[in-house]
């Protein structure tokens, strides 16, 4: 069964460093998302991406964040200068369509720890 | 704006018994989708079940069923014949029909299945 994959599973970085989180969405999916979950809290939306551009972004997704689909399979989230409060689990998700009946399938997540 | 409320931070259930996890929602959009995800201790988000706002029947997927009461704006998850492997966090989520909208999650319920 096709699935969303994410690498790395765990990333440890120093405050101020840049990190790139990678995702490979399900191959026939067209819509891609990043969510994050701070430890013990609910999952929060960061950004959605379609047709090589951002469709929607939340207040969390400020100038230090960027997303890219560098090739036909990868979808990346870059955090330019990490802060302590960026420590969280980051989930990539994808869906075939964007409407309300379409299920988003999540990857296993990347746990980011900023020291 | 959409909102999901899960009022049970933790639940216990005996193995082989059924359990209901509560979820209420709020939206002004007449078309929306409701989703339940399971998050085991390993951290991944696993899609369980979907209910559309115009679906006449309650959704069922194996041991999972969704008790959808539209007038009460509730979408409770029922797990029948609980197994030890059902111990996890369970998140209720929704998205409305307004274009490429993200999922909005509740705070989750931690279910513990006791042998």
Q: What pLDDT is attached to residue A72?
A: 77
- B56 touches A at CB < 8 Å: no
Taking contacts as CB-CB distances below 8 angstroms, the residues of chain A near B96 are 100
User: How is residue A23 written in tokens?
Assistant: 């995702």
CA distance B92 to chain A (A): 10
**Beta bridge partner(s), residue B4:** B25
Contact A43 B91 (CB under 8 A): yes
Q: What percent of chain A has pLDDT over 70?
A: 97
Answer whether B47 sits within 8 Å of A103, measured CB to CB.
yes
Which residues of chain B have a CB within 8 Å of the CB of A103? 35, 47, 50
* Residue (of B28, B35, B41) closest to B6 by Cα position: B35
Angle at CA of residue A12, ends A10 and A13, nearest 5°:
145
The shortest C-alpha distance from B81 to chain A (Å) reads 25
CA dist B19 and B12 (Å) reads 8
Q: Indicate the pLDDT class of residue A87, thresholds 50, 70 and 90.
A: very high
CB A36 within 8 A of CB A60: yes
Residue A34, chain B, CB below 8 Å: the answer is no
B100 touching A, CB under 8 A?
yes
pLDDT in tens, chain B (115 residues): 789 999 999 999 999 999 999 999 999 888 899 999 999 998 889 999 999 999 889 999 999 999 999 999 999 999 999 999 999 999 999 988 765 678 999 999 999 999 9
pLDDT at B17: 97
The answer to whether A55 contacts B100, with C-beta atoms less than 8 Å apart, is yes
**pLDDT value for A75:** 95
Question: How close are the terminal C-alpha atoms of chain B, in Å?
Answer: 41
Beta-carbon contacts below 8 Å between A and B: 72
DSSP annotation of A103 reads P
pLDDT score for A99 = 65
- Which has the closest alpha carbon to A30: A96, A75, A74, A111? A96
Torsion of CA A86, A90, A92, A97, to 10 degrees: -70
Nearest CA in chain A to B100: A98
Q: How far apart are CA A81 and CA A63, in angstroms?
A: 10
Q: Are residues A37 and B89 in contact, defined by beta-carbon separation less than 8 angstroms?
A: no
Closest residue in B to A57 (Cα–Cα):
B102
Query: Do A106 and B93 lie within an 8 Å CB cutoff?
Result: no
């Amino acid at each position: 069964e096709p699935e969303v994959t994410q690498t790395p599973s765990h990333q440890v970085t120093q405050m101020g460093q840049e990190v790139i989180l990678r995702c490979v969405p399900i191959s026939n999916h067209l819509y891609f998302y990043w969510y994050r979950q701070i430890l013990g809290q609910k999952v929060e939306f960061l950004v959605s991406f379609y047709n090589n551009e951002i469709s929607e972004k939340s207040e969390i997704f400020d100038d230090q964040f960027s997303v890219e689909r560098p090739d036909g399979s990868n979808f990346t989230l870059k955090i330019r200068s990490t802060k302590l409060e960026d420590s969280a689990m980051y989930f990539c998700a994808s869906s075939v369509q964007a409407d309300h009946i379409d299920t988003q399938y999540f990857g296993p997540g990347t746990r980011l720890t900023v020291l | 704006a959409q909102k999901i409320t899960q009022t049970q931070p933790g639940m216990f259930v005996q193995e082989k018994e059924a359990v209901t996890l509560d979820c209420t929602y709020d939206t002004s959009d007449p078309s929306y989708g409701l989703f339940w995800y399971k998050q085991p201790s390993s951290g991944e988000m696993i899609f369980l079940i979907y209910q559309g706002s115009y679906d006449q029947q309650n959704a069922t997927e194996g041991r999972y069923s969704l008790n959808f009461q539209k007038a009460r704006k509730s979408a409770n998850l029922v797990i029948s014949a609980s197994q030890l492997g059902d111990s996890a966090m369970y998140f209720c989520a929704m998205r409305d029909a307004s274009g490429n909208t993200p999922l909005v999650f509740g705070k989750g319920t931690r279910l513990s299945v006791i042998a």
